[in-house]
Amino acid sequence: MTGVSDEESVSLNLLRQKMAEFAKERDWDRFHSPRNLLLALVGEVGELSEIFQWKGEVPKGLPDWEEEEKVHLGEELSDVLLYLVRLSDICGIDLGKAALRKVEVNAIKYPVGMCKGSSKKYNSSSNGNNGSTEN
């Protein structure tokens, strides 16, 4: 596998290619079924959650965290992203395009004029939002 220079931007497509190459080199394609990848993704979300478990709310930027904790956080965030990218690839979904489309759909669902500063979900009576991108 080739590295990525500091000047080279990281794209979802680059990550997709690297994950495909990684699996092929190890003859792991046969294990990378949609279901297996989904379960692996959920497992990694659990590992990510463990990092925050019992800490209560933490300030943005994590100013009080040790460097070692931040490195670990970056690793688990990466595991989640890489399995998500791989799952999307195996399912034939262009994740970048799908995500951009979802942002557009959410912008329609949550018009600025009706939702700004509100945390209510789109289908609530006051038609606000909760800052999420769900559904």
Nearest to 132 by CA among 76, 118, 1: 118
Task: State both tokens at 32.
Answer: 């990378």
Residues at the contact surface with Mg ion, assessed by CB under 5 A: 44, 47, 76, 79
Nearer to Mg ion, 79 or 94 (CB): 79
* 48 close to 77: Cβ distance less than 8 angstroms: yes
Close Cβ partners of 129 (under 8 Å, ≥ 6 residues apart): 109, 110, 115, 118, 119, 120, 121, 122
**Smallest gap from residue 10 Cβ to Mg ion (A):** 19
Phi/psi of residue 8, each to 5°? -80, 130
Nearer to Mg ion, 43 or 111 (CB): 43
**Smallest gap from residue 62 Cβ to Mg ion (A):** 18
Nearer to Mg ion, 12 or 45 (CB): 45
**Smallest gap from residue 5 Cβ to Mg ion (A):** 26
**Smallest gap from residue 80 Cβ to Mg ion (A):** 8
Nearer to Mg ion, 74 or 131 (CB): 74
